[in-house]
Amino acid sequence: MSKQYPRVSAFKAFLILPALAATAAHAGTVDVTVRASNGRPLANAVVMIDSPGRRDAASRFAGPHVMAQQNIAFRPEILIVPVGANVSFPNRDRVRHHVYSFSTPKKFELKLYGREETRSVTFDKPGVAALGCNIHDAMSGFIIVVDTPFAARTDAAGRVSLTGVPAGRATLRVWHATLRAPGGQIAQPLVVTTAPIAKTVTVSAR
Amino acid sequence: MTLLALRAAVARRVTFGHLRTRLSVLYATLFAVALLIVAAVAQIMIVSHARSSVRAELTSSGTVFDRIWSLRSQSLIASTDVLARDFGFRAAVASGDRATIESALLNLKERVGMGSPFIVTLDGTVVGDGTNTIRSTVGKLPFRLAVGRRDAVVASGTGLYRMVASPIMAPTEIGWIIFAVRLDGAEMRALEQLSAIPLTATILGRDMRGRWTPATESSVAVSEALDELVEQAQTRKGRAPETIDLQSGQAFVLAKPLAAADGEPEAVLLFSYPVANALAPYRALQLGILLTGLIGLILVIWGSRRLATGISRPIIALDKAARSLEQGERTEVPVEGADELGRLAESFNKMSAGIVEREHRIAHLAFHDALTGLPNRVFFREQLDGALGRAVKRQGAVAVLCLDLDGFKGVNDTLGHPVGDALLNIIGAQLGELAIDGMVSRLGGDEFAIILADDAVPGRPRLLAQEIIDRMRQPMQAAGHQIATGVSIGIAIGPDDGADVDTLLKNADLALYRAKQDGRGVYRYFEPALDAAARKRRQMELDLRDALRFGQLRLEYQPIVYVQGDRVGCFEALLRWEHPERGAISPLDFIPVAEETGLIVSIGEWVLNEATRQAKQWPDHVRVAVNVSPLQFRNTGFLSLVFRALAQSGLAPDRLEIEITESVFLDSTEPTVALLHRIRELGVRIALDDFGTGYSSLSYLRSFPFDKIKIDRSFITNFAENDSAIAIVRAIIDLANALNMETTAEGVEDEEQLEQLKLQGCTSVQGFLFSRSIPSSEVLAMTDIEHLRAAA
């Protein structure tokens, strides 16, 4: 199948420009380190900063968005997509998979399909969609649908760096698969300055 | 140490009158102790075994229970898992399709068959049928469950529930299926069936005060012991069954805390088994042991009594025999068996026989003379006493014959004591033959005595005495020697001659003494005069001793005049005794007594000393003549006595003349002669006194060269008229002259005798013609012959 590239409407491009201009003028960098309650760095956590007025996630996260099934696992485990993104679910295994999600942002199921690359799903609500395979209980993946362009996954050291965050009030959100909190994420207010900010967030994880 | 002390203390307090009892008690006690030990050991082992087997059973039941419980849990979990995994169910839960959820739960319930299923969502919402209490508990369960735990026993309200939880993964945990099964009696019964022994299973839960109490009906009551038990069960790894008191009694219990969701267990499974039940199967055994023990004890008591009797009977017999022997009576002990007791009995018999025999022998020896076997003095006295008593009663008489062997001393000295003993034996036997009707006894030495009790034959004593004398006259054969002795007999008849033993014996002795005095070999009856004579003699002896001590003795001197020259050559010292009461006592009376009593030696000493002392004061040419008794001569100190007298007085030895009679030679000639020579060597003169009156005067002249012969007065008296007397005197004088001996005629009383003697050639004369004996003070005056004539 040929890739379908997401179209960026001209209107949306216009919207971005002033934002970009504004960004360039009063923006800072936020370094966030996520730790578990026992002090260990938490990898594969998603750090998001909601800045008012900034909903141009699509600009930051260009496609294509692919959640493949390979070696009886979702690849990547965590996929950050903007709202409205169309994510394809190629099955690169020899066995069939029955992908499903009962998460609030998107309830769907891709009933038992084999090696093909034709299935895809569009995620038009922000949130976290937990993916599972009906056949393979061990398969677990997450699609983080964000509307803020400031979202990234922590590395092995639990660190992530978000640049160009407009100064001023914002909301820092952290999500992790094991986080003990409703929805698996916590949120806290954040004041962004032009100077770089380093923040450590400790979360209670299972 | 303590053990010895204990034994001693017990022994002191517990004494038995009978050996039998002691033995019985000992054996019975020992057996009882042994039995008790066995019974105790058996009991301990039984109880221990019962306990350990019940414990083992409880433990294995506990293990089995663990397995069953876990299997049950797993089965429940499996069932709930099946539903939790179902995609459609997951979709329904995720989408909140309540109706579907509830019907699925119902389905599950029916599938399982019991209990109540619930769904608990992430936010704690509970879906399912149940009371609010249970729902509330269920709702909290997933959040309480520790990581990895899928099941728990929780308390909810008054009930205890086993709950299993299955997470609903879609794909992450979106909720749980909780399956709750109430733990009740039915479950417990099911568990009880599994055990080999009839256990009782009870579920315990905490009550309001936090104490463990049965959740199901049971006899288990709330108690501290129970709480403690559960505490211990939780802490210790190896939970072993313990014993606690339940309402119904002691029981073995095993407590198994049932895992809760988190923290402390909220329920405990209690297996219990009454101890009594554990020991029940062994009751029969215990009873059997007890019974056997009792029977055994009875047997032992009976047996030991028999044994004890068997042992003690001979001992009792010995005891009795010993006690009767103590009293003086000998009893034989029956000898039973060949063991120590039998041997003891035999020994005892022999011993007691020996004792009795020895007693008899001692008694015999006490009363009989060892040599002759005749009754001894002690026995004799006893018998005499008895005979006297009987004689007094019957008004009869008892004759006592005292016998003394004549010359027995000579036999002992010449032939030796063994011969003397043999002789005594023979004499004793002969006396016994002769005096069959009397009792012959040996009083000691060569003294015998015979008791003749009053009998029909009068004059029997006399006859017997004569028979004895006649028999004893004949020579006897003793120890290869032919010996001739004689016997003197003294006879006393009581009670006339003595009302008691001592008097009678004394008088018989006096009679014997008289017989001896009368020449021996005769018998004499006691006469009261004898007694008097004896008394007199004794008195004289005492007086004589006093005389010597108090100076009642003095010397008088009778002159011996030389025929040629008419001068006094010598004075014979004559002893005089002035008794303070009786006046002058004649030497004829007291000299014999002195010689008998041995006083003569001390008297003689005094005489010698006194005479030499007084003679020292006389003119040098005058000698003093002192009579010396044979007894003095035999005294070993006589020579030194003479020497001392001479030395002390200072008298020249040749002024001393010693007059001795022939009897001096009687005992042993040689020593006497030797002594005479030694006296002679001193310078002292020796004169032979009373010449002609002895047995072998001439031979004595031969044995020693006397200085002087004194012709006895018996030759001088009337000799002037008698021709033969004259001839004899002349012969004597000639003999003396021939032997170079002086002669002195004694007892010259008239001139005719003097003339005759002059004619015969007698050296000197002595007698009343010239002078009686005079005191020393007058001697000096008499040395002049003129005064001598005038004084006459």
Query: Which residue is associated with the tokens 């003689």?
Result: B604
Which residue in chain A is spatially nearest to B172 when comparing CA positions? A130
Q: Which of B87, B95, B172 sits opposite A130 (nearest CB)?
A: B172
Select the residue from A134, A136, A140, A144 to test the B interface by mutation, using most B Cβ atoms within 10 A: A134
Nearest one of A40, A59, A87, A88 to A148, comparing CA atoms: A59
Residues of B in contact with A182 (CB under 8 A): 123
- Residue A138 per-residue DSSP state: T
Tell me whether A130 touches chain B (CB under 8 Å). yes
Task: Count the residues in chain B.
Answer: 792
Tell me whether A121 touches chain B (CB under 8 Å). no
Residues of A in contact with B95 (CB under 8 A): 102, 107
Which residue in chain A is spatially nearest to B123 when comparing CA positions? A182
On average, the pLDDT of chain B sits at: 84
Angle of the B528-550 helix axis to the B501-517 helix axis, nearest 10:
80
Nearest one of B108, B95, B93 to B176, comparing CA atoms: B93
Task: Give the pLDDT band of residue B786 (cuts 50, 70, 90).
Answer: very low
Q: Decide if B485 contacts B423 (C-beta within 8 A).
A: yes
d(CA A28, CA A31): 10
DSSP for A34-54 reads: EEETTS-B--S-EEEEE-TT-
Can you list the positions of beta strands (E) in B722-770? Answer: 742-745, 764-766
> Count of H helices and E strands in chain B?
27, 27
Cβ pair B90:A137 closer than 8 A: no
d(CA A89, CA A143): 12
Mean pLDDT of A75-92: 91
Cβ pair B169:A102 closer than 8 A: no
b/e per residue, B450-489, with b = 16+ CB within 10 A? bbbbbeeeeebbeebbeebbeebeeebebeeeebebebbb
Surface of A (80-109) touching B: CB under 8 A:
98, 100-102, 107
d(CA B84, CA B103): 14
What's the confidence (pLDDT) of residue B51? 78
Which residue in chain B is spatially nearest to A140 when comparing CA positions? B171
Mean pLDDT of A105-121: 84
Cβ pair B85:A130 closer than 8 A: no
Residues of A in contact with B170 (CB under 8 A): 100, 102, 130, 132
- B279-307 pLDDT per residue, tens: 788 888 888 888 888 898 888 888 877 87
Residues of B in contact with A98 (CB under 8 A): 87
Dmax of chain B from CA atoms?
212
**Least confident interval from B69-73, B528-532, B548-552:** B528-532
Residue A63 identity (one-letter amino acid): G
Bridge partners, residue A146, by sequence: A82
Residues of B in contact with A101 (CB under 8 A): 171
Task: Give the pLDDT band of residue B236 (cuts 50, 70, 90).
Answer: low
Nearest one of B366, B481, B471 to B427, comparing CA atoms: B471
**Least confident interval from B205-209, B314-318, B420-424, B711-715:** B205-209
Does position B30 have pLDDT exceeding 80, yes or no?
A: yes
- How many CB atoms neighbour CB B201 within 10 A? 24
Q: Which residue has the higher pLDDT, B345 or B643?
A: B643
> What are the phi and psi torsion angles at B494 (to 5°)?
-100, 165
d(CA B357, CA B725): 74
Nearest one of B279, B237, B233, B521 to B404, comparing CA atoms: B521
The H-assigned helical ranges of chain A are 10-25, 57-60
- B726-736 pLDDT per residue, tens: 888 888 899 88
Which residue in chain A is spatially nearest to B93 when comparing CA positions? A102
On average, the pLDDT of chain A sits at: 83
Residues of A in contact with B172 (CB under 8 A): 130, 132, 140, 177
Q: Which residue has the higher pLDDT, B566 or B135?
A: B135
Q: How far is A26 from chain B (nearest CA, A)?
A: 40
Cβ pair B172:A133 closer than 8 A: no
- Tell me the residues of B at the A interface, defined by beta carbons under 8 Å apart: 85, 87, 90-91, 94-95, 123, 169-172, 174
Can you list the positions of beta strands (E) in B97-142? Answer: 116-121, 126-127
Cβ pair A140:B95 closer than 8 A: no
Task: Count the residues in chain A.
Answer: 206
DSSP for B193-241 reads: HTSSS--EEEEEEE-TTS-EEESSS-S----HHHHHHHHHHHH-SS---
Q: How far is A124 from chain B (nearest CA, A)?
A: 19
Q: How far is B150 from chain A (nearest CA, A)?
A: 17
> Count of H helices and E strands in chain A?
2, 17
- B552-563 pLDDT per residue, tens: 898 999 988 888
Does position B787 have pLDDT exceeding 50, yes or no?
A: no
DSSP for B469-505 reads: HHHHHS-EEETTEEE--EEEEEEEEETTS-SSHHHHH
Write the burial class of residue B663 (CB in 10 Å: 0-12 exposed, 13-18 middle, 19+ buried): middle
Select the residue from A102, A112, A133 to test the B interface by mutation, using most B Cβ atoms within 10 A: A102
Nearest one of B512, B580, B19 to B308, comparing CA atoms: B19
Q: How far is A99 from chain B (nearest CA, A)?
A: 10
The share of chain B scoring above pLDDT 90, in percent, equals 15
Does position A13 have pLDDT exceeding 60, yes or no?
A: no
Q: Which residue has the higher pLDDT, B502 or B663?
A: B502
Does position B319 have pLDDT exceeding 90, yes or no?
A: no
Does position B237 have pLDDT exceeding 50, yes or no?
A: yes
What's the confidence (pLDDT) of residue A1? 45
Strands B685-691 and B656-660: parallel
Write the burial class of residue B634 (CB in 10 Å: 0-12 exposed, 13-18 middle, 19+ buried): middle
d(CA B321, CA B328): 10
Residues of B in contact with A100 (CB under 8 A): 87, 91, 170-171
Q: Decide if B495 contacts B397 (C-beta within 8 A).
A: yes
Cβ pair B91:A102 closer than 8 A: yes
Q: Which of B95, B123, B171 sits opposite A132 (nearest CB)?
A: B171
What's the confidence (pLDDT) of residue B164? 92
Residues of A in contact with B123 (CB under 8 A): 182
Task: Give the pLDDT band of residue B219 (cuts 50, 70, 90).
Answer: low
Cβ pair A134:B87 closer than 8 A: yes
Does position A2 have pLDDT exceeding 50, yes or no?
A: no
Does position B598 have pLDDT exceeding 80, yes or no?
A: yes
* ipTM surpassing 0.85: no
Mean pLDDT of A147-159: 91
Bridge partners, residue B179, by sequence: B117, B164
CA distances from B338 to B98, B310, B335, B341, B352 (A): 112, 14, 8, 7, 20
Tell me whether A5 touches chain B (CB under 8 Å). no
**Least confident interval from B165-174, B212-221, B530-539, B768-777:** B212-221
Cβ pair B169:A132 closer than 8 A: yes
Tell me whether A127 touches chain B (CB under 8 Å). no
Tell me whether A132 touches chain B (CB under 8 Å). yes
Residues of A in contact with B171 (CB under 8 A): 100-101, 130-133, 137, 139-140
**Least confident interval from A182-191, B227-236, B521-530, B760-769:** B227-236
Which residue in chain B is spatially nearest to A98 when comparing CA positions? B87
Model pTM?
A: 0.47
d(CA B399, CA B261): 139
Tell me chain A's radius of gyration from C-alpha atoms. 18
Classified as helix, coil or strand, B314 is helix
d(CA B199, CA B270): 10
Residues of B in contact with A132 (CB under 8 A): 169-172
Does position B395 have pLDDT exceeding 90, yes or no?
A: no
Handedness of CA B762, B764, B766, B770 (dihedral sign): positive
d(CA B367, CA B376): 5
Task: Give the pLDDT band of residue A190 (cuts 50, 70, 90).
Answer: confident
Select the residue from B101, B172, B173, B174 to test the A interface by mutation, using most A Cβ atoms within 10 A: B172
Q: Decide if A192 contacts A167 (C-beta within 8 A).
A: yes
Q: Which residue has the higher pLDDT, B272 or A140?
A: A140
d(CA B227, CA B212): 6
Mean pLDDT of B326-345: 81
d(CA B647, CA B653): 9
Cβ pair A102:B85 closer than 8 A: no
Q: Decide if A180 contacts A206 (C-beta within 8 A).
A: yes
Does position B577 have pLDDT exceeding 80, yes or no?
A: yes
